[in-house]
A and B are shown apart, each in its own frame.
Chain A
Amino acid sequence: MAKNNKNLNEVEAADEERDLTAKETVGLSQGQLIRKRFFNHKPAVFSMFFLVFITLFVYSASGIHLNWGETPITVQGWWPYTITDIPETVFCEGSVGCPTWDHPFGQDPLGRDYFALVMRGAEQSIVVMLIIGFFGGLIGTVVGAISGYFRGWVDAVLMRFTDFIITIPSIIIGAVIGFRVGNLGVVPLAVYLGLFSWTGLSRLVRGEFLSLREREFVDAARVAGASNRRIIFKHILPNAMGVIIVSVTLMLSGAILLETGLSYIGFGVQAPDVSLGSLISEYQDSFTVSPWLFYWPGVLIILVALSVNFIGDGLRDAFDPRQRRQISRKELLKATFKKPADPSQN
């Protein structure tokens, strides 16, 4: 019935919307409003704290290792083992290297501490996620903004180029890149992947710019003498930020899976370094004998990707006030017993 009403009565919805926004926004800036709506989205807030926690946990556990150039920079973490240490294998009933107090995630068949491996893998995944997100977001925004704002032949050229990139399956791009630069470590791999993962975003941004450039405030800015650059960056881009932030966030979880997938098929991070994908790939045979080798990296992938997705959902709801949250039956029942507001305030 509510749905029916929504379709049927635009006027009513608009009226109501106006009332509501007037009520909830006295003295709040746009940013504050968005923050408030985001913090009302419980799964997103929980996911955000969880993600921060897991990032800190992972990095503090395994420390920071940058094998950039000649001299690798290494900061030790609090976990006593590294991925190259081979401590003595603990035997337990019916199996080898099962979880113990000393090795809570167990040991792999070589005897390496699995907790250290998983932490290192998660670290790699987070780095890949951020780098792909940064490059993909940057390129996608710029390409989309330019083609949506200028339209005409600029748009045609850029969008045909985008189409061309889209037609190449990402797994093949990834395989080629992984084959070429996988042995250089995870950072160059992520940068190259970022260079190919902006296409979806650029189309979204283009659409947003196409509609925003027709708004009257853009004309007003043009009449005021604003240059194209000023109109794009000062007037339109801040209004398109919602779309950009949301889709970059959702792109991040895709990035994790892309890296995992590549490493799983052997084109991503190369041994002796590890990633969550390469760990799963390497120990898939041991699923029956020592299942922990299989499920710890899997659980981490799911947790990180899921929490990033939830944050993206929360951001989308926060940026798009048109998607009003449906009032739940429980809330409504509770509300029935409340007194109406003082009409004089209304």
Chain B
Amino acid sequence: MTSTREAILEVENYNVEFWVDGVWYPAAIDMNFSVKAGQVLAIVGESGSGKSSSSMGLMSLLATNARTSGSVRVKGVEMLGTSKANLRKYRGKEVAYIFQEPMTALNPVYTIGFQIIETIRNHFNLGPTEARQRAIELLTLVELPNPETSVDKFPHQLSGGQRQRAMIAQALACDPALLIADEPTTALDVTVQAEIIELMRNLKDKLNSAVLLITHDMGVVADLADDILVMKDGFTVETGSADQIFNRPQHPYTQQLLAAVPKLGFAQTRPSVHLDNAQPVLEIENLVIEYPKRGRIPAFTAVKELSLTIFPGEIVGLVGESGSGKTTVGRAAIGLLPVKSGSIKINGQEIAGATQKDLAGIRRATGIVFQDPASSLNPRLPIGESIGEPILLAGVASGAELHSKVEDLLEQVELPRSYRNRFPHELSGGQRQRVGIARALALTPDLLIADEPTSALDVSVQARFLDLLLELQADLKFACLFISHDLAVVDILAHRIAVMQNGELVEAGLRDQILKNPQDPYTQRLIAAVPVPDPAVQRARREARLGRG
């Protein structure tokens, strides 16, 4: 970046505080930064670090119990403490926001065209036809297919990536000088994420806007950012150019954050545990699962002719994008979904068509860790009861014996024994997910099914969680079906990897085979789309992509 360019956003001694139960809690403390035209500044931090609150506070978009202080200047005009009318003039016109969830940020009862036109006509004196023309131009700019027809579509008629494009088009409607993108790709699949990042990069060059990017994903940051600001608990921990932060981080927190990011292809090699004569723990053959017809919605085949085998002591990573049917496989393997045809055997016992009574027996050999730590524990039960439930219902132990078993399990997942009487809401996300593991391991199962257990966790928490899972697996030697959308995470854990797309298994094999030498084009695309947290590598990959194209 050249320093001669005009600074679009200048922030000085900027504080954000929230009034909660009689105390002001700071969300951002003494922030100082500036963004110039054509520059991308990324604010990086884990959840609760204040990165979102600080960006919303810039244009006074926070709830009434928040207050901001310091100075925020957009093109030299002070934004804090200015009148509402003046703020409205700048919002959308000079400063535009892109949000994380396009489904909730777009109004579902209006067409995307209507919403874009509304923004345009709020700020410019344009007639309906010209505004519509402009909206179509914008949709063409964000590379939405068939802009002339898409303009009249409702948000639910578009895919996730297309919705995000529509929202970007809306944000760009008035050629804003500053674009604030708050986790713009977090809700998207990796291949779609790669496209959106590409789009944002092109747009930034084309429009010469300043971009403030808020994200927790180091890969995205490496791909887009010129400068980086690292936040922790409201404090600015470190600032610098992307090259500085990634290659020569000074602050221990930045170093720790970067170390926690799983990198594809850097995990230790894991010896294969494949045993030819052993009986597989899980044997899936030609599995078909169909969600039956409901009213006018036709039946949907979520899994088509899938075969997969897991041997004792082996971790198999099942990878795919959203809607690929990977979660369906996991849930069917534990008998939570009816099987249309094919067979699922656990330790040689058939699950498909088993009675409730048989299932209860088979399930004692399995455990499952769910995706969302917030919903997988009963909020009304102390965690000790949740963990102890399988043991109690299996009739293994009760009373004082049960309590001591539960406390042992808590210790195993590195939680204090005294946590037995705590409620889920008193624990952090990472702790809740450990409780989830403790419950899954309560009956020392032969097979553990982990359904995206880390997708709701921050990277540093995720790193600790994965370490714990590896340790436990080495200790207890259970087989594990690890379902994830994140190839880098699977890389750390799995002996073998299976890749799913649209309900079909496209490729399966040893980990290195899949990651280093993928055969199927979809697998290749998936691996190429994973952002690498290293600006130099990203640039090289981008150039390689361009060269190909």
Q: Is the CB of A216 within 8 A of B61?
A: no
Chain A residues with Cβ under 8 A from B84's Cβ? 1
Partner of B370, one of A2, A10, A11, A216: A216
Q: Is the CB of B394 within 8 A of A12?
A: no
Known A11-B52, A217-B376: A25·B425 in contact at CB below 8 Å: yes
Q: Is the CB of A18 within 8 A of B48?
A: yes
B-contacting 9-mer, from A106-114, A166-174, A199-207, A335-343: A335-343
Which chain B residue shows the least CB distance to A33?
B425
Q: Which residues of A1-48 have CB atoms within 8 Å of chain B's CB atoms?
A: 1-2, 4-6, 8-13, 15-16, 18-30
Known A19-B18, A343-B234: A225·B372 in contact at CB below 8 Å: no
Q: Is the CB of A24 within 8 A of B21?
A: yes
A-contacting 9-mer, from B96-104, B217-225, B258-266, B495-503: B96-104
Does A95 touch B at the CB level, under 8 Å? no
User: In the complex the two chains form, what is the Cα distance from A224 to B61 in whole Å?
Assistant: 45
Which chain B residue shows the least CB distance to A32?
B423
Chain B residues with Cβ under 8 A from A299's Cβ? none
Q: Is the CB of A327 within 8 A of B439?
A: no
Known A2-B63, A326-B64: A25·B426 in contact at CB below 8 Å: yes
Does A65 touch B at the CB level, under 8 Å? no
Q: Is the CB of B26 within 8 A of A217?
A: no
User: Closest CB-CB distance, A159 to chain B, in whole Å?
Assistant: 16
Does B230 touch A at the CB level, under 8 Å? no
Chain A residues with Cβ under 8 A from B378's Cβ? 217, 221, 235, 238-239
Does B239 touch A at the CB level, under 8 Å? no
User: In the complex the two chains form, what is the Cα distance from A26 to B427 in whole Å?
Assistant: 9
Q: Is the CB of B393 within 8 A of A224?
A: yes
Q: Which residues of A219-269 have CB atoms within 8 Å of chain B's CB atoms?
A: 219-226, 230, 234-235, 238-239
Most buried by B among A6, A223, A343: A223
Does A323 touch B at the CB level, under 8 Å? no
Q: Which residues of B371-401 have CB atoms within 8 Å of chain A's CB atoms?
A: 371-372, 375-381, 386, 389-390, 393-394
Partner of A346, one of B64, B234, B386, B426: B234
Chain B residues with Cβ under 8 A from A341's Cβ? 23-26
Interface readout for A309-346 with B: 1 if CB under 8 Å, 0 if not? 00000000000000000110001100110111101001
Partner of B363, one of A24, A223, A346: A223
Does A215 touch B at the CB level, under 8 Å? yes
User: In the complex the two chains form, what is the Cα distance from A8 to B61 in whole Å?
Assistant: 9
Q: Is the CB of B63 within 8 A of A5?
A: yes
Chain B residues with Cβ under 8 A from A235's Cβ? 378, 381
Q: Which residues of B142-171 have CB atoms within 8 Å of chain A's CB atoms?
A: none
Does B366 touch A at the CB level, under 8 Å? yes
User: In the complex the two chains form, what is the Cα distance from A235 to B393 in whole Å?
Assistant: 14
User: Closest CB-CB distance, B526 to chain A, in whole Å?
Assistant: 26
User: Closest CB-CB distance, B177 to chain A, in whole Å?
Assistant: 20
Binding site secondary structure of chain A: helix
Q: Is the CB of B393 within 8 A of A1?
A: no
Known A223-B363, A239-B378, A327-B19: A9·B64 in contact at CB below 8 Å: no
User: Closest CB-CB distance, B334 to chain A, in whole Å?
Assistant: 6
User: Closest CB-CB distance, A14 to chain B, in whole Å?
Assistant: 9
Partner of A8, one of B97, B336, B375, B436: B97
Q: Is the CB of A226 within 8 A of B24?
A: no
- Total interface residues on A, CB under 8 Å, equals 54
User: In the complex the two chains form, what is the Cα distance from A234 to B393 in whole Å?
Assistant: 13
Chain B residues with Cβ under 8 A from A4's Cβ? 61
Known A219-B336, A340-B26, A346-B25: A11·B18 in contact at CB below 8 Å: no
Chain A residues with Cβ under 8 A from B52's Cβ? 9, 11-12, 15
Chain A residues with Cβ under 8 A from B368's Cβ? 219-220, 223
Chain A residues with Cβ under 8 A from B390's Cβ? 223-225
User: Closest CB-CB distance, B160 to chain A, in whole Å?
Assistant: 15
User: In the complex the two chains form, what is the Cα distance from A28 to B501 in whole Å?
Assistant: 45
User: In the complex the two chains form, what is the Cα distance from A219 to B389 in whole Å?
Assistant: 13
Q: Is the CB of A19 within 8 A of B19?
A: no
Q: Is the CB of B182 within 8 A of A9?
A: yes
Q: Is the CB of A10 within 8 A of B26?
A: no
Does B56 touch A at the CB level, under 8 Å? yes
Q: Is the CB of A27 within 8 A of B64?
A: no
User: In the complex the two chains form, what is the Cα distance from A340 to B368 in whole Å?
Assistant: 44
User: In the complex the two chains form, what is the Cα distance from A21 to B331 in whole Å?
Assistant: 31
Q: Is the CB of A23 within 8 A of B64?
A: no
Known A15-B52, A19-B48: A327·B65 in contact at CB below 8 Å: yes
Q: Is the CB of A16 within 8 A of B360?
A: no
Does B17 touch A at the CB level, under 8 Å? yes
Partner of A11, one of B24, B100, B389: B100
User: In the complex the two chains form, what is the Cα distance from A219 to B26 in whole Å?
Assistant: 39
Which chain A residue shows the least CB distance to B373?
A216
Q: Is the CB of B101 within 8 A of A11?
A: yes
Known A6-B63, A215-B375, A216-B372: A335·B19 in contact at CB below 8 Å: yes
Chain A residues with Cβ under 8 A from B334's Cβ? 223
Known A18-B48, A30-B380, A235-B378: A226·B61 in contact at CB below 8 Å: no
User: In the complex the two chains form, what is the Cα distance from A15 to B55 in whole Å?
Assistant: 13
Which chain A residue shows the least CB distance to B336?
A219
Does B20 touch A at the CB level, under 8 Å? yes
User: In the complex the two chains form, what is the Cα distance from A346 to B336 in whole Å?
Assistant: 42
Q: Is the CB of A220 within 8 A of B370?
A: yes
A-B contact pairs, 5 of them (CB 8 A): A8-B61, A11-B52, A216-B372, A223-B363, A341-B26
Which 9 A-B pairs have CB atoms at the shortest separation, nearest pair first? A224-B390, A216-B376, A238-B380, A340-B24, A225-B393, A216-B370, A217-B378, A327-B65, A341-B23
Interface of A toward B, CB cutoff 8 Å: 1-2, 4-6, 8-13, 15-16, 18-30, 215-217, 219-226, 230, 234-235, 238-239, 326-327, 331-332, 335-336, 338-341, 343, 346
A15-B53, A16-B53 provided; 8 other pairs, C-beta below 8 A? A19-B25, A21-B425, A219-B336, A220-B368, A223-B334, A223-B390, A224-B439, A226-B393
